[in-house]
Amino acid sequence: MKKVVKFGGSSLASAKQFKKAGDIIRADRARRYVVPSAPGKRNKNDEKVTDLLYACYDAASTGAPYGKIFSRIKERYNQIIEGLELNLNLDFEFDRIEKNFIAAAGRDYAASRGEYLNGIIMSHYLGYDFIDAADVIFFDENGTFLSEKTNAELAERLSHSERAVIPGFYGAKPDGSIHTFSRGGSDITGSIVARAIHADLYENWTDVSGFLVTDPRLVENPVPIETITYKELRELAYMGASVLHEDAIFPVRREGIPINIRNTNRPDDPGTLIVESTCRKPRYVITGIAGKKGFCSITIEKAMMNSEIGFGRKVLDVFEKNGISFEHMPSGIDTMTIFVHQSEFQDYEQSVIAGIHRAVQPDSIELESDLALIAVVGRGMKSARGTAGRIFSALAHARVNVKMIDQGSSELNIIIGVKNDDFETAVRAIYDIFITADR
Ligand code: ASP
């Protein structure tokens, strides 16, 4: 059995948290490869070391004073080392980092030092090998991740290491310079390592016991999701449910390796298991509800639109030419509505309207702003009758006016458009009808 364990920033924010992580790793011999993040927040008002590194670099590389902030960074690591009673001194590393900051080695280099230093500490603490991610994770000159080269090199390197720590978040470009994934990218590193060693499981340890059916800021104490498929997760993550980096599923998905989201502070909780597919019956008809505000709709009306071949293409071409991606496109006989992100659309509004007039000579174009989209996702919906009916009667009872409905062709989700102001009420109503009523 081989497991890759990734620990997020809050799981490694202090010596106390490091000890919890150490206990978890030592409790299971299969936890052989460890991917740490940089130290995160110890409490709500604390700072993430990654943010301190960016700020410190911005000052140091432009000749501004940076001493104070650099001391805060050193202090964070030294406190962890002392708390763990390690015989380790990072002064040499700190000096080298300082020199490289002044020499403007790059913002990515700066940010990556958070994981790099935490990786060194972790490897000492566990007695595992330390493998610098710059030697095994590769990007091209433009910063595109090179998955196959990385997979081959990493597999080869790890075949010589029984137990190792590989820092998350970064790798190297062909010229040796450091490049990072986007924020939260240690999740991706964990997934890449899991793929390379054909892990049985990728455990992602964080500060929540997995995914919840919906956002706890919208519904009090939502129930946890026990099992979710990659596809369901994609739908929910796209709509704003964030626990795992969006791109982290791709490497493990190729190998069919499940991901288990676990809570470092509650190691006995089973967390959420993310799988390719499963026969396990979901406990509720729906798996999750997520949503986002800030959309607007463009409704185009033209008599006999339905018989005009190429109408849709011409309209979408206008959006493409203006560089705007669309979210949904429900249509009627003489109408077609396009949903877009308000922030992306605003600056091009008039150019799009003019473009549509020129392209298809519509009878009218109407805009509506401040809309929210809610995705109700669940593999169980396929075989359950009346799901849409239940959603709409719940919304009607809650006095929410539905602006749009779109059932994905996979029968995995139903997307509902409502006014921004109705967003919270709508999510709560849907939660209640499927979860509270079924408990
Ligand atoms: N430390 C990085 C960040 O704060 C990467 C990560 O934690 O995954 O975004």
**Domains present along the chain, CATH in parentheses:** 3-207 (3.40.1160.10), 288-438 (3.30.2130.10)
Percent of the chain with pLDDT strictly greater than 90: 85
pLDDT value, residue 341: 96
102 falls in which pLDDT band (50, 70, 90)?
Answer: very high
Q: What is the mean pLDDT of residues 343-367?
A: 96
Residue to substitute in 7, 35, 122, 183 for testing ligand 1 pocket (most ligand atoms within 8 angstroms of CB): 183
pLDDT band at residue 282 under the 50/70/90 scheme: confident
- Predicted local confidence at residue 381, as pLDDT: 86
Nearest-angstrom CA–CA distance, 307 and 315: 15
Q: Give pLDDT, residue 243.
A: 80
pLDDT surpassing 90 at residue 201: yes
Share of the chain above pLDDT 70, in %: 100
The DSSP H or E segment spanning 295 is strand 288-301
Question: CB neighbours of 178 closer than 8 A, spacing ≥ 6?
Answer: 105, 106, 108, 109, 112, 134, 170, 171, 172
**Tokens representing 226?**
């026990």
CA 418 to the chain's CA centroid: 25
Ligand 1 site: residues with CB under 6 angstroms?
A: 9, 37-38, 48, 50, 114, 168-169, 183-186
Rounded to two decimals, the pTM is 0.86
Q: How large is the average pLDDT for residues 393-402?
A: 95
Average model confidence (pLDDT) for the chain? 95
For residue 409, which amino acid is it? S
Compute CA 21 distance to the chain's CA centroid, rounded to the nearest angstrom.
22
Average pLDDT over residues 87-101: 97
The one-letter amino acid code at 144 reads T
What integer is the mean pLDDT of 52-69? 97
From CA 191, how far away is CA 106, in angstroms rounded?
A: 25
pLDDT of residue 278: 87
Task: Out of 5, 10, 50, 178, give the residue to mutate to test ligand 1, the one with the largest number of ligand atoms within 8 Å of its CB.
Answer: 50
Residue 262 pairs in a beta bridge with 205
Q: Using CA atoms, how far apart are residues 142 and 140, in angstroms rounded to an integer?
A: 5
Atom of ligand 1 nearest to the CA of 168: 8
pLDDT of residue 59: 97
d(CA 146, ligand 1 centre) in Å: 20
pLDDT above 80 (res 298) = yes
Where residue 429 falls among pLDDT bands split at 50, 70, 90?
very high
296, 340 in Cβ contact below 8 A?
yes
Q: What is the DSSP letter of 138?
A: B
Select the highest-mean-pLDDT range: 275-289, 292-306, 376-390: 292-306
